[in-house]
Amino acid sequence: MAPDRAVAGQARPEQEFFCFRAGELRLAVPSENVLEVIRTGLLTPLPRTPSFLLGVTGHRGEVLPVMDLLRFLGKGEARVGARTRLFIGTSGNYRVGVVADAVLGLRRIPVADILPPPLGGDAAVEHLLGVYGGNSPQDAIALVNFTKLLQSARQRAVVR
Q: Tell me if 11 is assigned to some domain.
A: no
- The predicted model scores a pTM of 0.83
CB atoms within 10 A of CB 29: 24
Q: Which residues pair with 57 in a beta bridge?
A: 64
Calpha distance 20→37 (Å, rounded) = 11
From first CA to last CA, the distance across the chain in angstroms is: 62
How many domains, the chain?
1
Query: Phi/psi zone of residue 76: left (φ > 0), alpha (ψ -120 to 50 degrees), beta?
Result: left
Calpha distance 5→143 (Å, rounded) = 27
Q: Which domain covers residue 88, as residue numbers?
A: 16-159
Q: Tell me if 4 is assigned to some domain.
A: no
DSSP letter (8 states) at residue 118:
P
- Higher-pLDDT residue of 98 and 1 is 98
Contact by Cβ (8 Å): 114, 16: no
The pLDDT of residue 88: 94
Contact by Cβ (8 Å): 91, 150: yes
Q: Tell me if 2 is assigned to some domain.
A: no
Q: Tell me if 8 is assigned to some domain.
A: no
Specify the 3-state DSSP secondary structure of 44.
strand
What is the side-by-side order of every strand in the sheet holding 62-67? 34-39, 85-91, 94-100, 62-67, 53-59
CATH value at residue 152: 2.40.50.180
pLDDT by residue (tens digit) across 39-90? 988 889 988 889 899 999 998 889 999 999 999 988 888 888 888 899 999 9
The pLDDT of residue 153: 87
Contact by Cβ (8 Å): 150, 94: yes
Q: Tell me if 29 is assigned to some domain.
A: yes
DSSP letter (8 states) at residue 4:
P
Q: Tell me if 150 is assigned to some domain.
A: yes
Q: Tell me if 129 is assigned to some domain.
A: yes
The pLDDT of residue 8: 52
- The three-point CA angle 107-108-110 to 5° equals 135
Q: Tell me if 61 is assigned to some domain.
A: yes
